[in-house]
Amino acid sequence: MKSQKLRVILLFGGRTGEHDISLISAEAIYKNLDRNKYNISCIYIDRKGFWSPVPSPAHPEKRTENAGYDFLPWSEPREKHVVEGDIYFPVLHGPRGEDGTIQGLFELAGVPYVGAGVLGSALGMDKALAKDVFKAHGIPQVEHLTVLENCWAKNRIAILESIRETFLPPIFVKPANLGSSVGITKVDSFDRVPQAVESALAHDRKIIIEQGIDGQELECSVLGNENPRASLPGEVIPYREFYDYQDKYLENKTGFRIPAELSTELTERIRQLSVRAFQALDCAGMARVDFFLEKSTGHLYLNEINTIPGFTEISMYPKLWEVSGIPFSELLDSLIQLGLERHRQKTRRNG
């Protein structure tokens, strides 16, 4: 007798600036899920927050109903829309997907899901708080400063003076709670800082000023729950000034070295720091950890962690596991099993 296939529910889209990237990632996952093991259903969340079952991520406009439905407990019951699954796979980059919100919904519903929990997701999304946690764990980072919107409005001159005293151009100004390099500005002179700050504040009430580093951009993938493991690291070679949104997803001219050409000692240090960062934020399932390797000093700095990394055809997370011995489809198998394992542990503990 054949074992019953697992019902996997892919969720993608969302009310975020990374909506389109979510669709591309979800399409790659959809293509690589083993049809002999899984029955796959797709739920598209549009830019207004309405949910709709769709045939695949490639055609989110082909909804099974004329319009999406509101996913709120006080909305009109719409039982015909319910899609039940054995595990839910969120492919929602950025706010309202990668920040613990959808994970909180899964927790309330008591269903298994892929990836980090509420805390790990929230910390991974908030780069400022993540940096505080990394500092407490002794993980090396570049010099940085967190600025809140209300503080900027009240103390702009003092903040600008602090930036001049602390940093040397180039510096980076970025929103604390966005991904895919959305809203990031590279600043080569201090007179451009106010404009960069305003640009970042258009996306978030909290922003980060970071010291720019002349060096290699390195990335490492992590997989696991209580005993995570790290892939071989890879190097990103930006086509533009830095690895921004256009370079990542539109121009497709970025270069990669997979794996990176590094010494055995440095490779191992990156892998160890990646696991430490993953555990420091209480992550689960998956994460991609990004680093800078400074040319002049050889110092290694952790940049950030991504708890729902890109899964496009050119994304580093699956590529790094492929060169580390885990093909795309097997990687998805592992992520699903890790999500089920975590749910079983919670169920045993909480009843």
State the total domains in the chain: 3
Task: Provide the CATH number for the domain around residue 76.
Answer: 3.40.50.20
DSSP letter (8 states) at residue 250: I
- Give the largest CA-CA distance in the chain: 73
What mean pLDDT is predicted for residues 11-15?
93
Q: How confident is the model at residue 1 (pLDDT cuts 50, 70, 90)?
A: very low
Identify whether 333 is part of a domain: no
Mean pLDDT over the full length of the chain? 90
Q: How far is CA 351 from CA 2, 204, 313, in A?
A: 30, 39, 40
Q: Which domain holds residue 70?
A: 6-115
Task: Provide the CATH number for the domain around residue 173.
Answer: 3.30.1490.20
Gap between the Cα atoms of 191 and 188, Å rounded: 9
Question: What is this structure's pTM?
Answer: 0.91
Based on the domain organization, do 220 and 79 belong to the same domain? no
Based on the domain organization, do 161 and 76 belong to the same domain? no
State yes or no: pLDDT of 82 exceeds 90.
no
Gap between the Cα atoms of 89 and 85, Å rounded: 10
Amino acid 266 reads: L
Based on the domain organization, do 136 and 100 belong to the same domain? no
pLDDT per residue as tens digits for the range 214-227: 999 999 999 999 99
